Structure 1
Amino acid sequence: MSFKSLCVAFGLTLSLAACAVGNTVDYRDVVPPLGVSGSKSVAVEAVDQRPYVLAGDNTPQWVGMVRGGFGNPFGVHTVSGAPLSSDLTQSIIDSLKQGGVKAVPATARMATDRTLLVTIKNWKSDSMVTTSIYIDAEAEVRDQAGTVLARNSVQERVVNEGEVAVLPPGKLERAKAVFRRLMDQLLNSSIRDALR
């Protein structure tokens, strides 16, 4: 390999590494319109139970990694700077409010007709040549008495292929689109019906 080829390869590696640093993604709008309307009030809470967050290996704002040219990982965090659970709680509240539902964070400690609890057991993306998306989450709706009216879970690993020429910001937007689809599956018709 010539010196010029080595310089080009080194330059490409440095540019890939530079693109991998300081990435963020906005999950505040990841919940699609739920199409729920009615007079019931709903308390919403997303709880982060990711083992790597509970163990202190990652912060609650951590949502994945982008790997540099040598495969070295750089963390990806929420663009808001808030924990992922806070962004998801707000996203669900905003989606319910679109239908006129009175939705509040469960931390507001208001008496509501329904409680929607989303437990996040895994939520991360891992990007280099391709992007792998991991989710393990459960949604549960309870009435005022605490009776479970509906429950659903999603456990998936999705690999976005054909991303060789896509820079990290584009890969993160593609991962976000997958998470949006998976949240639509999690908050399925049985969950939505129980919120009405």
Structure 2
Amino acid sequence: MMSVKILCAAMGLCLSLAACAVGNTTDYRDVVPPLGVATQKTVAVETIDMRPYVLADDNTPQWVGMVRGGFGNPFGVHTQSGAPLATDLTQATISSLKASGVKAAPATARTASDRNLRITVRDWKTDSMFTTSVYFNAEAEVRDQAGTVLARNAVNDKVVHDNESMNLPSTKLERAKAAFKTFMDRLLDGGIRQALR
């Protein structure tokens, strides 16, 4: 029979894990790697959040995953900025393009640009406890001023990080962020970058 001391220690660990799981955020405003695009063309960037759990109002547009407490109970993870994920991705993409000297801005109904880069997100979430699962499903599309599609690419993938039980939620989320950065690099591939020129 389990001693009271062991039972108390186990309960304490579960409560500690639950406390660590509350209130976590991730900053995705730098998740787009350097794109290395050099062009005189202007680029309008937009991100559309088509995640079904957001469209159904099961989660907010700021929701990016969950960290589970000691009993497996989920606690939401949200964007550190407090802005919708789509806004953070748009800003991250613009920042990456501007780093190469590209004139990039958010797309609006009145935007007149040479190129339009649209990113459609269908899945973007993490699920962390003893392992961390990272889910990604998105499409990138470049159109010219006339609306002709110049390039399109899609990535639908999942990464699982094992042996996470001893890692703090912040460590798990940083590793997940690195996976998202790799996914974004694959999404905005050579074809997409060439079409922006």
Question: Does TM-score exceed 0.5, indicating one fold?
Answer: yes
Structure 2 residue runs of 5 or longer lacking an equivalent are none
Identity %: 71
Which secondary structure state, in structure 2, belongs to the residue aligned with residue 4 of structure 1?
Answer: helix
Q: In the TM superposition, what is the alpha-carbon distance from 1:163 to its structure 2 partner?
A: 1.4
Distance in 2, matches of 1:165 and 1:59, equals 29
Distance in 2, matches of 1:159 and 1:62, equals 19
Q: In the TM superposition, what is the alpha-carbon distance from 1:18 to its structure 2 partner?
A: 0.3
1:15-42: CA deviation from partner (whole Å, max 9, x where unpaired): 0000110000000000000000110100
Distance in 1, matches of 2:137 and 2:181, equals 14
- After TM superposition, the structure 1 stretch with the greater mean CA deviation from structure 2, 126-135 or 160-169, is 160-169
Which secondary structure state, in structure 1, belongs to the residue aligned with residue 76 of structure 2?
Answer: strand
What's the counterpart of residue 98 of structure 1? Answer: 99
Written as runs of structure 1 = structure 2, the 5 A alignment for 1:30-179 is 30-107=31-108, 109-179=110-180
Q: In the TM superposition, what is the alpha-carbon distance from 1:119 to its structure 2 partner?
A: 0.1
Distance in 1, matches of 2:146 and 2:122, equals 26
Supply the RMSD in Å over aligned alpha carbons: 0.7
Q: In the TM superposition, what is the alpha-carbon distance from 1:75 to its structure 2 partner?
A: 0.3
Q: Which amino acid aligns with 2:11?
A: F
Q: In the TM superposition, what is the alpha-carbon distance from 1:108 to its structure 2 partner?
A: 6.8
Which secondary structure state, in structure 2, belongs to the residue aligned with residue 80 of structure 1?
Answer: coil
Normalising by structure 2, we get a TM-score of: 0.98
What's the counterpart of residue 6 of structure 1? Answer: 7
Distance in 2, matches of 1:146 and 1:94, equals 24
Q: In the TM superposition, what is the alpha-carbon distance from 1:109 to its structure 2 partner?
A: 2.5
Distance in 1, matches of 2:28 and 2:94, equals 13
Q: In the TM superposition, what is the alpha-carbon distance from 1:162 to its structure 2 partner?
A: 2.2
Q: Which amino acid aligns with 1:162?
A: N
What's the counterpart of residue 184 of structure 1? Answer: 185
Deviant stretches of 4+, over 3 Å: none
Aligned residues: 196
Distance in 1, matches of 2:32 and 2:100, equals 13
